[in-house]
Structures are given as C-alpha cells and as structure tokens.
Amino acid sequence: MTSQTPSEKPQRFALIDFIRGAAIIGVVIYHFIWDLRLFRFVVTDPAYDIVWMVSQKILFSSFLMLAGVSLVLAHGNGIDWRGFWKRFLILMA
C-alpha cells in the first residue's frame, strides 16, 4: 500500500463535494421545517406531507450513497485494518 507524502494533496471531486453540500443543506432545511412545525410557525407537517416525505427519502438515500462513495474513494487501495483497529481501540479506551 502506498502512502501519501505530506506535500501531496488528495484529489477532490467537485461533483461529489457539490452533491454532499446540497444534501447537507437539504437536511438542514428539512429539520428547520420540522422545528417550525413543532413550534407551530408553519401549517405543513413534514411527517404527513407527501413532498416532505419524498424529500426525506431522497435525502436519506443520498447520504447513504455518499457514505459509500466516500468510503470507496478513501479506501480505494484497500482498508488499512491495523490502523483501523488501532484507532478503534484508542476511541474505546
């Protein structure tokens, strides 16, 4: 497995970053509307309104997809299991 030198920057994918940013903004808006409904500032109910229900599914699916894409991009050469378990044990200590 090759390691990067400190001067090398990993390649960024603008489309992935854009989709990730759009998903984050969408989730913030969804939760903001949910809170507005909780405090009775809006009439629509995200739990039962079809537009918000579809938005919820799209946002959830995009997060799962982006998590998978990010894992593949981060570990394209394989997972460093030794480093993984070392970090895992540090977190659990």
Q: What is the pLDDT of residue 64?
A: 87
Tell me, what amino acid is at 80?
Answer: D
Q: What is the pLDDT of residue 53?
A: 93
Low-confidence residues of the chain: pLDDT under 50:
none
How far apart CA 62 and CA 48 sit, in angstroms, is 21
Q: What is the pLDDT of residue 78?
A: 86
Q: What is the pLDDT of residue 90?
A: 96
Q: What is the pLDDT of residue 35?
A: 94
Average pLDDT, the chain: 87
